[in-house]
Structure 1
Amino acid sequence: MAKDKKEKKGGAQEEQRAPEVARHSAKETPRLKARFKKEVAPTLMKEFDLKNPMAVPHLHKIVVNMGVGEATQNAKVLDPAVNELGQITGQKPVVTKAKKSIAAFKVRAGQSIGAMVTLRGDRMYEFFDRLVNVVLPRVRDFRGVSSKSFDGRGNYTLGLHDQLIFPEIDYAKVDKMKGMNVTIVTTAGSDDQARALLKHLGMPFRA
Structure 2
Amino acid sequence: MSPLAEPKVAPRFKERYVNEIRPALVERFGYETPMRAPRIRKITLNMGVGDAKQDTAMLEAATEQLAVIAGQRPNVRRARKSIANFKLREQMPVGVAVTLRDARMYEFFDRLLSIAIPRIRDFRGLNPRSFDGRGNYSMGIREQIIFPEIDYDSIDQVRGLDVTIATTANSDEEAFALLEAFGMPFRRDGRPGAEDTEAAAAADEERRKEARARAEAEQAALEQLKAENPEAYERREKPEEGEEGEGGEAAADSAPEEGS
d(CA) in 2 for partners of 1:78 and 1:130? 24
Tell me what 2:138 maps to.
157
d(CA) in 1 for partners of 2:140 and 2:147? 14
Tell me what 1:173 maps to.
154
Tell me what 1:25 maps to.
7
SS, match of residue 29 in structure 1: coil
Tell me what 1:109 maps to.
90
Matched, 1:89 2:62: no
Of structures 1 and 2, the one scoring higher in RCO (CA 8 A, sep 6+) is 1
Identity of aligned residues (%): 50
Task: Spell out the pairing of 1:48-67 with structure 2 (5 A cutoff).
Answer: 48-67=29-48
Q: Which runs of 5+ in 2 are unaligned?
A: 189-260
d(CA) in 1 for partners of 2:31 and 2:74? 37
CA shift for structure 1 position 162: 1.0
d(CA) in 1 for partners of 2:115 and 2:109? 10
Matched, 1:136 2:104: no
Matched, 1:38 2:14: no
CA contact (8 A) 2:7 2:103 kept: no
Q: TM-score, normalised by structure 2?
A: 0.69
CA displacement 1:111-166 (0-9 Å, x = unmatched) = 11111111000000010011011000000111210111011111000100011100
Matched, 1:200 2:175: no
Tell me what 2:80 maps to.
99
Q: How many residues of Structure 1 are paired with residues of Structure 2 in the alignment?
A: 186
Q: Which runs of 5+ in 1 are unaligned?
A: 1-12, 18-22
Tell me what 1:68 maps to.
49
d(CA) in 2 for partners of 1:89 and 1:25? 12
CA contact (8 A) 1:96 1:113 kept: yes
CA shift for structure 1 position 200: 0.2
CA shift for structure 1 position 195: 0.6
Q: TM-score, normalised by structure 1?
A: 0.86
Letter matched to residue 137 of structure 1: P
d(CA) in 2 for partners of 1:24 and 1:36? 20
Letter matched to residue 93 of structure 1: P
SS, match of residue 107 in structure 1: coil
Q: Which of structure 1's runs of 4+ aligned residues deviate more than 3 A?
A: none
SS, match of residue 44 in structure 2: strand
SS, match of residue 134 in structure 2: coil
CA contact (8 A) 1:159 1:179 kept: yes
More helix by share: 2
CA shift for structure 1 position 24: 7.5
SS, match of residue 194 in structure 1: helix
d(CA) in 2 for partners of 1:46 and 1:197? 13
